[in-house]
Structure 1
Amino acid sequence: VPADLARHAILTPLVFGPEELASGVWQQTVEPVDALFIHAHPDDESLDFAVLMAALGRRGLRIATLLLTDGESGIDRYPSRTVPAGYPAGRLAGETLRTVRVEETRRALAILGSDYYLRAGWRNHPYNRRADELPLDAIMAAWGGEEAVVTQVAQVIAALAPRLVVAPDGPSEAREHFEHEATGVVVRRAIEMERAAGRGPGAYLISVDPFQRELYPDAIAIPRAPWGEDLRAVQGAALSQHHTQADASVIGIRRLLDLPFEYYRVVHWGLEESLDELLGVAGGVRSEATPR
């Protein structure tokens, strides 16, 4: 059962959909952010970014989250889940599943502390076996073409002017979902586009799977309780909101909540503050290999 939102939420995210992103009207509502988190699907933000996002959010930093798809081609775990208030009865698919997963993500981000939830709404491809995997050029074509998708993400970065961008790796050195890798490629190229224009974030991190971190020996480690509060517990409440997704509300909770660290690779760090200073790490406790 999803954790009680009234007990765990720290804010109410503003949600902007594909039409608003395409028109640019959303830019009239937002303010510059400290951190922009970008990923492929609903639940990825809670699986990969939760400790870092929750730490920054609870420090009062302004956060935005951009998800490139709505997870509409995924599998609803019904009948292995309950049917809480607000959930249609039966197995969900397609547009109905999209609507529910957007709401699940909004609730998760309310707990993690993201002020803005931006939805690109690009096509989500099914992924149930290795034969479903697609090459990068096929994903880019389905999303609207490489130039168009990179430009749209670059426009989001320019509009939000984040000091820090966090995204998956792409191409990844680890075994990852093909749309995660595509997202990483898009973000990397969008940041390159922004830097060529004399803009771009001061810092850029990529998330590292804790179960494949040996492939990233230079990864930094974010402690689960940087200043006392156990942010893995916050992550558990966020993961539980993704009630239709076994990867989050079952497997994620089972595998992640006992881990002491969340891992990232530093692609670039040009901020005056160290990462520990952004996190407010107290008492001399430091992340491993903290960027300066």
Structure 2
Amino acid sequence: MRTCLFFHAHPDDEALLTAGLMARLAAEGHRVVLVVATAGEAGLSAPAAPGSRPLGLVRMDELRESARRLGCHRVVCLGYRDSGLDGRAEGGFASAPVAPAAERLARLLKDEQADLLTVYDENGGYGHPDHVQVHRVGVAAAELAGTPVVLEATADRDRLLYWTRPLRRVLPLDDWRRAYTPGAQITHRVDVRRYARVKRAAMAAHDSQASGGLRALAVLRRLPMPLFRLAFGVEYYVRRS
């Protein structure tokens, strides 16, 4: 049995990029640990009812449910402030000093005797500052802890640009030319088609982020399963070490 630690910025990030591999590893008998830097308290929120709970608490409950559906063994939140949708909120994770944050994550890696750590690519995927910070902190933590394998969760930029060509007239997708990772640099394409239903269930757990018709999670989780499997049946990683 191996111990695999998945490091993400906010609740729901795990469902989009790494849920298939998490479910696969858990099903194969490995220990899967999910760590988020923030509770996502500055994210999108569903229309609030009187007396409703703070969004951060709601999103952590959603994260724990997502983790349960994926078969995770432990969920940890480092407790940093969410930097907001634009990544500019004062005092957020994106502006936290890297060294202390890396030391905290390294302690977790050592306590768990982790064999594998996943972070984001150096672009932070689509460039959110909290995601870029996950890359910086995670890479530094792995060095401190001596974690033998570090994988950068990403997407195939070439494939993404090809499939989104029809949308460029209506959506601002020019920044995607610098997002994620060129196909030639990807080292691992992981087949997770068997776990597509579990991955979609993990997305569905994040109901506060899928309550609007145009929100990404709302759209993605309504895709017919054959189309969902085609879109999300492979996950992409770059091995750093």
Write out per-residue CA displacement over residues 248-269 of structure 1, whole angstroms, 9 at most, x where no aligned residue: 631442485432311111112x
Amino acid at match of 2:238: R
| Contact 1:39/1:167 (<8 A) preserved | yes
| 3-state SS of paired residue (1:258) | helix
Question: Which of 38, 43, 48 lines up with 1:69 in the alignment?
Answer: 38
Give distance in 1, aligned partners of 2:94 and 2:129: 14
**Aligned ranges 1:1-292 → 2 under 5 Å:** 34-78=3-47, 89=49, 96-127=54-85, 132-134=86-88, 142-143=95-96, 145-172=97-124, 174-194=125-145, 200-210=146-156, 211=160, 215-219=182-186, 220-225=188-193, 230-246=194-210, 249-253=217-221, 254=223, 257-259=229-231, 260-268=233-241
Question: Offset at 1:147?
Answer: 2.3
Amino acid at match of 2:132: E
Work out the percentage of aligned pairs sharing the same amino acid: 25
Give distance in 1, aligned partners of 2:94 and 2:26: 35
Amino acid at match of 2:151: L
Amino acid at match of 1:168: Y
| Contact 1:239/1:249 (<8 A) preserved | yes
Listed as ranges, the gaps of 5+ residues in structure 2 are 161-178
Note closer, same or farther for the CA distance 1:138–1:72 as it changes in structure 2 (3 Å cut): closer
Question: Offset at 1:240?
Answer: 0.3
TM-score by length of 1: 0.65
Give distance in 2, aligned partners of 1:133 and 1:67: 16
Give distance in 1, aligned partners of 2:217 and 2:151: 25
Amino acid at match of 2:236: Y
Amino acid at match of 1:263: Y
Question: Offset at 1:77?
Answer: 3.2
Q: Which residue of 1 aligns with 2:164?
A: none
The structure where helix makes up a greater share of residues is: 2
Superposed CA RMSD: 2.7
Give distance in 2, aligned partners of 1:235 and 1:91: 32
Note closer, same or farther for the CA distance 1:238–1:110 as it changes in structure 2 (3 Å cut): same
Q: Which residue of 1 aligns with 2:165?
A: none
Note closer, same or farther for the CA distance 1:204–1:107 as it changes in structure 2 (3 Å cut): same
Write out per-residue CA displacement over residues 142-164 of structure 1, whole angstroms, 9 at most, x where no aligned residue: 53x32221111111111111111
TM-score by length of 2: 0.77
Listed as ranges, the gaps of 5+ residues in structure 1 are 1-31, 79-87, 195-199, 269-292
Amino acid at match of 1:106: R
Give distance in 2, aligned partners of 1:126 and 1:139: 8
Give distance in 2, aligned partners of 1:160 and 1:245: 30
Q: How many residues align?
A: 210
Amino acid at match of 2:240: V
| Contact 2:151/2:237 (<8 A) preserved | yes
Give distance in 1, aligned partners of 2:43 and 2:17: 18
Question: Offset at 1:134?
Answer: 4.0
| Contact 1:47/1:252 (<8 A) preserved | no
Give distance in 2, aligned partners of 1:251 and 1:245: 11
Write out per-residue CA displacement over residues 41-92 of structure 1, whole angstroms, 9 at most, x where no aligned residue: 00011111111000000011111111000000112133xxxxxxxxx73696
Question: Offset at 1:140?
Answer: 5.6
Give distance in 1, aligned partners of 2:110 and 2:60: 24
Give distance in 2, aligned partners of 1:102 and 1:139: 17
| 3-state SS of paired residue (2:152) | strand
